[in-house]
């Protein structure tokens, strides 16, 4: 039996968890949502939700992980025998997400490579992106590389792999975000774009916007997929969980806001104030942005810096996903970490293939207008995650009781400062918000509302 792995320091744990939280969600989805749903007013609501709702859910998962020392699969049953099914559902989520996340990771590696080898101009061609993701061999090669690197870090271990890599990549990521944002907002004409991004427009802040903000937050903080439970199980019994969560949140929200500052004004200026240009989906990142960079002086360098930033964000998120899946299987089958990791690596490659080919030779396979990748994304993000999160709140609020979590926090801190707020959120507010996200996704699919 191997001994349990641990992060060696609080900062290592915070950076690894922030590495998981900061991902593609921060870099393309957040800026787009903020621009669409009222700029400053969206930002304000998002921040309020982050320090209340997001805070409560994240602290819950980390405390559950640390208290039980288990992965999501057994953490719930460890605290309450009959609740094992929540662990099973929570474990299915990263198992579904990991392969398709690596497909997008592969695209990012390819774009980074093109910029670094001086091909940044080639990708501006209108059909470049679609031709690339629609081809058969090339995307598979890049996703294979992405998976290989992720696996390599996992094999190095929690402390020598994940923690070390996060300690290097995360500071670089923050610096790059700040540098790119400053570069963009000092370009001529950027002012209108900044105003568009930051100025509150209450009329755009609708009920749908509120659901979108809640959904975004919950995805952005890597909640309801067992990740924070696994990372919590590796954290030290001496760390102050409350302040760690505050730090992780700060990191995640800061990068999201900076991403908005680098993307919204740039796209806004480039497209002459056309809001459609900020449209949803990978097209913003892989088609519009390269064009925007191409139109700027020094744009090739900024383009390279931007894709390195995205690559680092995607890697640390993929690492957290793979680690979570590995920890689930090690818990279940008591196999060695190394063998399990290699098996999961092979699984990831095999399952990523259909998601990748779904944009090309297998594009005929689709349900409604969803490609294979979209389908996996929908099942995990829109169906399973809200269900797992609601059940987690009910589990804590009414079965094991908030006191169990509060005691865990207070075992390593003089006091749990936001204790009262925590209880109210976990018992009443979070389940309602989560039910709204869930109903919102269903209505979205039925095309009754558009998120």
Degrees to nearest 5, angle at CA 107 with 217 and 184: 65
Comparison of 226 and 299: residue with beta carbon closer to ligand PHE = 226
Residue 230 sits in the site that holds ligand PHE (CB under 6 A): no
* Residue spans of alpha helices (H) in 334-369: 337-357
Residue 441 sits in the site that holds ligand PHE (CB under 6 A): no
Comparison of 190 and 285: residue with beta carbon closer to ligand PHE = 285
* Residue spans of alpha helices (H) in 186-298: 190-198, 207-220, 227-233, 241-270, 282-283, 289-294
Helix count and strand count (H, E) for the chain: 23, 0
Which of 100, 101, 197, 210 contacts ligand PHE by CB under 6 A? 101
Euclidean distance between CA atoms 89 and 155, whole angstroms: 26
> Applying CB under 6 A, which part among 49-57, 161-169, 316-324, 329-337 lies near ligand PHE?
316-324
Euclidean distance between CA atoms 299 and 320, whole angstroms: 32
Residue 380 sits in the site that holds ligand PHE (CB under 6 A): no
> Applying CB under 6 A, which part among 5-13, 188-196, 217-225, 336-344 lies near ligand PHE?
217-225
Comparison of 98 and 264: residue with beta carbon closer to ligand PHE = 98
Q: Which residue has the tokens 């969980």?
A: 241
Comparison of 97 and 389: residue with beta carbon closer to ligand PHE = 97
Comparison of 94 and 431: residue with beta carbon closer to ligand PHE = 94
> Applying CB under 6 A, which part among 16-24, 115-123, 273-281, 370-378 lies near ligand PHE?
16-24
Degrees to nearest 5, angle at CA 311 with 306 and 313: 95
- 26 to each of 214, 324, 335, 354, 444, how far by Cα in Å? 14, 21, 35, 26, 22
Comparison of 21 and 264: residue with beta carbon closer to ligand PHE = 21
Residue 20 sits in the site that holds ligand PHE (CB under 6 A): yes
> Applying CB under 6 A, which part among 11-19, 21-29, 109-117, 160-168 lies near ligand PHE?
21-29
- 148 to each of 216, 272, 318, 344, 375, how far by Cα in Å? 29, 41, 11, 11, 25
Residue 416 sits in the site that holds ligand PHE (CB under 6 A): no
Euclidean distance between CA atoms 236 and 432, whole angstroms: 32
Comparison of 132 and 251: residue with beta carbon closer to ligand PHE = 251
For residue 199, give the nearest of 272, 284, 265 by alpha carbon. Answer: 265
Residue 60 sits in the site that holds ligand PHE (CB under 6 A): no
For residue 381, give the nearest of 103, 99, 94 by alpha carbon. Answer: 94
For residue 170, give the nearest of 11, 32, 378 by alpha carbon. Answer: 11
> Applying CB under 6 A, which part among 18-26, 74-82, 187-195, 331-339 lies near ligand PHE?
18-26
**DSSP classification of residue 363:** T
Cβ proximity of 261 and 426 under 8 Å: no
Which of 49, 95, 97, 341 contacts ligand PHE by CB under 6 A? 97
> Applying CB under 6 A, which part among 5-13, 20-28, 52-60, 353-361 lies near ligand PHE?
20-28
Residue 320 sits in the site that holds ligand PHE (CB under 6 A): yes
For residue 196, give both structure tokens: 């568009």
Which of 91, 317, 356, 392 contacts ligand PHE by CB under 6 A? 317
Residue 218 sits in the site that holds ligand PHE (CB under 6 A): no
Which of 12, 19, 25, 31 contacts ligand PHE by CB under 6 A? 25
In angstroms, what is the minimal distance from the CB of 316 to ligand PHE?
9
Residues that bind ligand PHE (CB under 6 A): 20-21, 23-26, 97, 101, 219-220, 222, 317, 320-321
């Amino acid at each position: 039996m191997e001994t349990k792995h641990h992060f060696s320091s609080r900062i290592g744990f915070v950076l690894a968890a922030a590495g998981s939280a900061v991902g593609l969600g921060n870099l393309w989805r957040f800026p787009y949502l903020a621009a669409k749903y009222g700029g400053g007013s969206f930002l304000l609501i998002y921040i309020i939700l982050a320090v209340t709702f997001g805070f409560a859910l994240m602290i819950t998962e980390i405390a559950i992980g640390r208290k039980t020392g288990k992965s999501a699969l057994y953490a719930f049953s460890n605290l309450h025998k009959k609740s094992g099914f929540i662990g099973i559902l929570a474990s299915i989520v990263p198992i579904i997400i990991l392969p398709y996340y690596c497909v997008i990771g592969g695209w990012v590696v390819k774009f980074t490579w093109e910029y670094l080898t001086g091909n940044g101009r080639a990708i501006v061609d209108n059909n470049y992106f679609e031709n690339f993701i629609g081809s058969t061999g090339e995307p598979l090669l890049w996703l294979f590389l992405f998976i290989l690197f992720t696996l390599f870090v996992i094999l190095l271990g929690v402390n020598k792999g994940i923690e070390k890599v996060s300690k290097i990549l995360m500071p670089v990521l923050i610096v790059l975000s700040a540098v790119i944002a400053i570069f963009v907002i000092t370009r001529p004409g950027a002012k209108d774009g900044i105003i568009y991004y930051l100025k509150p427009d209450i009329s755009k802040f609708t009920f749908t916007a509120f659901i979108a903000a809640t959904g975004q937050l919950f995805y952005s903080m890597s909640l309801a997929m067992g990740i924070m439970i696994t990372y919590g199980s590796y954290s030290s019994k001496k760390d102050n969980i409350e302040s760690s969560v505050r730090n992780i949140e700060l990191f995640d929200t800061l990068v999201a806001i900076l991403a908005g500052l680098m993307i919204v004004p740039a796209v806004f200026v480039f497209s002459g104030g056309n809001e459609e240009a900020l449209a949803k989906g990978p097209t913003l990142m892989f088609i519009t942005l390269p064009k925007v960079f191409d139109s700027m002086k020094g744009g090739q360098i900024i383009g390279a810096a931007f894709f390195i930033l995205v690559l680092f964000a995607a890697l640390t998120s993929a690492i957290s996903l793979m680690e979570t899946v590995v920890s689930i299987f090690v818990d279940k089958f008591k196999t060695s970490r190394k063998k399990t990791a290699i098996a999961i690596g092979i699984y990831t490659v095999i399952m990523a293939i259909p998601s990748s080919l779904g944009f090309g030779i297998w594009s005929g396979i689709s349900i409604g207008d969803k490609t294979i990748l979209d389908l996996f994304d929908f099942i995990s993000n829109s169906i399973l995650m809200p269900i797992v999160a609601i059940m987690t709140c009910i589990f804590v609020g009414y079965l094991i009781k908030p006191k169990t979590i509060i005691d865990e926090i207070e075992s390593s801190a003089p006091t749990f400062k936001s204790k009262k707020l925590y209880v109210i959120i976990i018992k009443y507010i979070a389940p309602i918000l989560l039910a709204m996200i869930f109903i919102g996704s269903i209505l979205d699919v039925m095309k009754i509302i558009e998120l």
